[in-house]
Amino acid sequence: MNDVTKRVGGLVWAVCLLLLAVAGCSDDDGTRAVEPVPTTVEITPASARLTFIRATQGFTAVVRDQDGKVMSSADVSWSSSDGEVFTVTGSGSGGTATAVGNGMAELMAVSGQASGTAAVEVRQRVARLEAVSGDDQQAVRGTKLAEPLVVRSRDQGGTPVAGVRVTFRPSPGHGSVSPGQVETGVDGTASTEWTLGLTGPRQSLVAFADQVNYRFTATATTGSPIPDLEFRAVTLSRDDPTVLETVDVMAEIVNLGDGATPPTFKLAVSVDGQVVGTVDVGQLAAGATGNAVVTVGPFPTGRHTLDLVLDPDGEFEEWETANNSASVEVVVVNQDRLAPGESVTVFSEEAGSVLLFRIDVEEASDEALNIVLSGGAGDADLFAHYGDRPGHTNDYRCNSGTFTTDESCQMVPTRIGAYHVAVLAFSSFGPSKLEVTVGGRPLEPFDIELVFLNSGTPSQDAIVEQAAVRWESVMGQEVQDYPAFVTDRPFARNQCFRGQPSVAEEIDDIRIWISIDSVDGVGKNIASAGPCHVRAISYGFGTFYSTPALGAVLLDEADVAQMESEGTLLSVVTHQLAHALGFGTIWRIREWIQDPSSPDKPDADTHFTGPLTIPAFDAVGGSGYAGARVPVENGGTRGVADTHWRESVFGDELMTPYLTGDTQPLSLVTIESMYDIWYEVDLDAADAFSLTSAGRAGMAMPRGPFIDLSDDVADWPIVVGDQKTGRVLGVIHPRRRR
């Protein structure tokens, strides 16, 4: 190598070393090693609004070098452009701003020569208003309160908020304020003066700002105390009366004033602006409530407005009279009269329409009241009911729903009073004949089909059959046969209890399986009984529950033998058959049982509210009973409570849970309860019976020897089937399965 070459090579290396010192030198692959330098700082979030003093907001600074790469370990310093708006703390990539005062300021994050900013606004928002003074004062009505009303606005952190517009607004009739709007001062307060109104003694005013408010109250007085009447509630006995029915308008009235009313005051009721009734209401002390009933009607068809007015002639001074009135509406539908021995032609072109009739019976008869629809095309269903007109066809006691217009209801016995008839157009139908007669038509007897799955001795089986005959004599006529157990909709085997056969044929009127077999020996569970299947009709707008089609009575053979020897087997089996027929077992689905004690209300005053059972209870001596009628066994014990008459009241009666005495009469109360669950009955079949302990409401075990029928109500599922189609509408499940 010559000298020139050496000098040139040395120069190259010198230049290279110099460049390395300044910016690095290329390696063999052409890359350069460059020292990272903070170039940009990005703050997130880019802005923030703090709504209360001492509110905080976290920020994150991301530092990137000249190549856009994140420098996670870069030093960052944080600062606020205005420490009177917010302060900031933090190190590294995280910083926290804390609100100090209202305003706008800039948050800065610096790393090396690079920096980033974020906008921070502090704007207090009112979170609550509080009374400083002036609440709950008292003054003569129409005068100014002695002290001004003062409120303070605070933000979420509790710091007063200045510069907020507060509006003061009295409730209607409760006076005036001056000024109506006030801006809060530096201490967050605003005030006004309130002049009370001339209306009621309890007056109020609302102060509000933004979305928050505070309600002030004051008591207005007079020279002497005066009342202030108001309707607390107005209800109607029904809001859909027919042209033949009256309506009871029931008003609950409260005196909101500080003085009593006169000894009596008037309540007037107007219909469509015409006064139709006035009653006197007794004196109401200050704060007291009272009730009044006005009977109005009948009305023509259509919608009518009923207006109620207290003290309509202004006979005494009140705090306020604007609250002395109330209005309700009724929609009146047509209903025609039809007497026994009469007939009428009916038809309808509108499916779903209902034609209503009322039959007023003035003479009772042991024979049946026959209501028959016949002739004409289409499909119409017939409904009949004794007593108050049901609000829906679901609730009529007799329903006849074939696929034609040939329908009938026979109601036994014929009772004095009103029968209601509804003809429902399942499709367009008619012209058809609707006829009412008393007697003259044969009654199909009620049939109990006993099927012995496990027989007892011939004498025991005979006693079971004797008990069934007794119940057949109680029932005034048959119920609708159940034709729906056909081959494609059979009642499956073991669906009710183990060993129960399937059913695939028509039932007339009820089939009850009997089993006398070994269970648990003498003195334990004597029997288990109840329905397995209940009829119902579904009209698409509700389900009507009727009587059982299938049931069962399972008896312990050891107990049966002992009871036969003691002469009590007939009463026990008669009792059990009643459960299979629905006594105590379908009360809940028919909603006749009220305030049940099971499973966890042992002290409940459980009672049965069947409309015919209650007067029957009164007739046998229960009119003076102190508790709710008709008393049902309470205490919450499974298989006893809510399914029998109360032992402490009914004593020796057949359907108590403990059979006592030499005989156990089947009372008029029990028979009428079967009527209330939709059987027609023969009232003459009742045994002589009277209550000897009416007035005692508690549950008590009997004294002396008795047969304990505890847990005799079966806990198996009850299938609900459609009378027309056989379709299963539901299953009523017990609390536990057998």
DSSP summary character for residue 127? -
- CATH class entry, domain 128-221: mainly beta
Residues of the chain with pLDDT under 70: 1-33, 487-488, 539-542, 636, 693-704, 734-738
Cβ within 8 Å of residue 73, ≥6 positions away: none
DSSP summary character for residue 252? E
388 with 397: CB under 8 angstroms?
Answer: no
Predicted TM-score (pTM) of this structure = 0.68
Measured CA to CA, the distance from residue 732 to residue 682 in angstroms comes to 30
- Which pLDDT does position 522 carry in this prediction? 81
- Which pLDDT does position 32 carry in this prediction? 60
> Nearest-CA neighbor of 259 among 281, 283, 232, 280?
283
- Which pLDDT does position 319 carry in this prediction? 86
Same fold, 229-332 and 336-438: no
88 with 49: CB under 8 angstroms?
Answer: no
- The domain defined by 229-332 carries CATH number 2.60.40.10: yes
The single residue listed with the structure tokens 């207005």 is 220
Measured CA to CA, the distance from residue 176 to residue 197 in angstroms comes to 7
Q: Are strands 77-80 and 103-111 parallel, antiparallel or unpaired?
A: antiparallel
- The domain defined by 336-438 carries CATH number 2.60.120.10: no
- Which pLDDT does position 542 carry in this prediction? 67
- Which pLDDT does position 599 carry in this prediction? 81
430 with 405: CB under 8 angstroms?
Answer: yes
> Nearest-CA neighbor of 284 among 300, 262, 308?
262
Where do the structural domains in the chain lie, given as residue ranges?
38-122, 128-221, 229-332, 336-438, 461-585+713-738, 591-708
> Nearest-CA neighbor of 207 among 177, 172, 162, 186?
177
Helix (H, G, I), strand (E, B) or coil at 461: helix
- Which pLDDT does position 456 carry in this prediction? 96
- Sign for the CA dihedral angle at 620, 624, 629, 635 comes to negative
In CATH, which of 1.10.3720.10, 1.20.120.450, 1.10.1040.10, 2.60.40.1080 is domain 38-122? 2.60.40.1080
- Helical ranges in 534-612 per DSSP H: 557-566, 569-581
How does 671-694 read in b/e, with b if 16+ C-beta sit within 10 Å? bbbbbbbbbbbbbebbeebebeeb
* DSSP letter for each residue of 661-720: SS-----HHHHHHHHHTT--B-GGGPPP---SSTT--S--PPSSS-EE-TT-B--S-EEE
